[in-house]
Amino acid sequence: MRSPLIAGNWKMNGSLALVEQFGEAFADANVPPDVSIALMLPFPYLAVAQRALSGTPMAWGGQTLHDQRSGAFTGEVSGSMLVEFGARYVLIGHSERRAMFHEDDAAVLARVSAALDVGLTPVVCVGETLAEREAGRTEDVVLKQVDVVFSGIDAEARERLVIAYEPVWAIGTGKTASPDQAQAIHASIRAHVEQYSVALAAGLHVLYGGSMKAANAAELLAQPDIDGGLIGGASLQVDEFLAICQSAG
Ligand code: PEP
């Protein structure tokens, strides 16, 4: 019912040459037809992505956006600019944005609304820190982050969200949540979203992110409430990312 979505997050990594390499490799790669694939790229690479990834099964997107359409916001990029470059997705509220760029709940909600306004699919990242997990607060923290977004938009808009559960302690650390740990929180997110609508919860894509790689992807993606992956480090290598996409089919 929920076909998998595998999304790469290059963060501030990669090169124009690497975008071209992905374009060439995925043009005739053997990827399962029911798996959606996307790369969240640094802004300057979007123009090349629009050419090099067209004709591949891969979509592309940004890693953040500003909440206003235009104006005196030096250094920022709007959703309509992403759309001009063919972006279909945008990451919002990645833990690095929350921690390093001070994106709080209000900022996350404003960005989600801005993305929806221009037709982008927001991939909203939620997740607990190690201290929060050790204090037994994982569910509280994650479900609150989910509620901030779901309670701030209307029913039709809720249908267009993707959630990425990314335990902060697993991002870029090589420590992956075990399939059971990840499944438990994914199931809690889905059960919690039922309060908005049972059908919404059943159709909601909840991706797992945090040191996912080819070697552990199949086991994580086999969990009933894990509907795909958000992949950082391992999305920078064509063969590794392709293997993850293949294990989702
Ligand atoms: C991420 O940045 O969203 C991420 C999951 O990174 P990594 O796969 O490198 O842990």
Helix H or strand E segment including 172: none
Q: What is the atom index within ligand 1 of the atom nearest the CA of 212?
A: 8
9 is in an annotated binding site: yes
> CB–CB of 172/232 below 8 Å?
yes
CA 73-40-99 angle, to 5 degrees, is 60
Residues 144 and 179: their CA atoms lie apart, in Å, by: 22
Q: Are strands 58-62 and 89-92 parallel, antiparallel or unpaired?
A: parallel
Cα–Cα dist 80/72, whole Å: 15
Residues 108, 135: Cα–Cα separation, whole Å: 25
pTM of the entire predicted model: 0.97
Mutate to test the pocket of ligand 1, among 6, 97, 230, 241 (most ligand atoms within 8 A of CB): 230
What is the residue range of 236's domain?
A: 5-247
The CATH code of the domain that includes 31 is 3.20.20.70
Closest residue by CA, ligand 1 atom 2: 232
* Residue 169 token pair: 């302690």
Q: How many domains does the chain have?
A: 1
Ligand 1 pocket test, candidate residues 212, 220, 236, most atoms within 8 A of CB? 212
Tokens of 166: 């990314």
Q: Which pLDDT tens digits describe the chain residue by residue (249 residues)? A: 799 999 999 999 999 999 999 999 999 999 999 999 999 999 999 999 999 999 999 999 999 999 999 999 999 999 999 999 999 999 999 999 999 999 999 999 999 999 999 999 999 999 999 999 999 999 999 999 999 999 999 999 999 999 999 999 999 998 888 999 999 999 999 999 999 999 999 999 999 999 999 999 999 999 999 999 999 999 999 999 999 999 999
